[in-house]
Amino acid sequence: MEAYQNRVLLEAKELAKKINSLQLFMVKETFHDVDSKEKIRMYRQLNVMSQYLNILNERIDSFLIGKN
């Protein structure tokens, strides 16, 4: 595997951890105390991060199956 492909794999793994951490926070009781505008920003952030991870996963799939 190419060096840049390994970097993409690492980036996806790190991003997945961040997404998981954010999702875990958003289901905790303390999330209810967060300002409503901040909650909206957090939901938007989660959405964009998830889209980004989907793109990284598409790239990884193409590395592994050899298709562009």
Give the pLDDT means over successive 10-residue stretches in the chain (68 positions).
95 98 97 97 98 98 83
Residue 18 pLDDT = 98
Give me the domain span that covers residue 48.
Answer: 3-65
- Which alpha helices (H) appear in the chain, and where do they start and end? 3-26, 36-65
- Closest-CA residue to 51 (of 63, 43, 36): 43
| Overall number of domains in the chain | 1
Show Cβ contacts of residue 1 under 8 Å, excluding neighbours closer than 6 positions. Answer: 9, 63
Backbone dihedral region for residue 16 (phi beyond 0: left; psi -120 to 50: alpha; all else: beta)? alpha
pTM for this predicted structure: 0.90
CA atoms within 13 A on the CB side of 7: 3
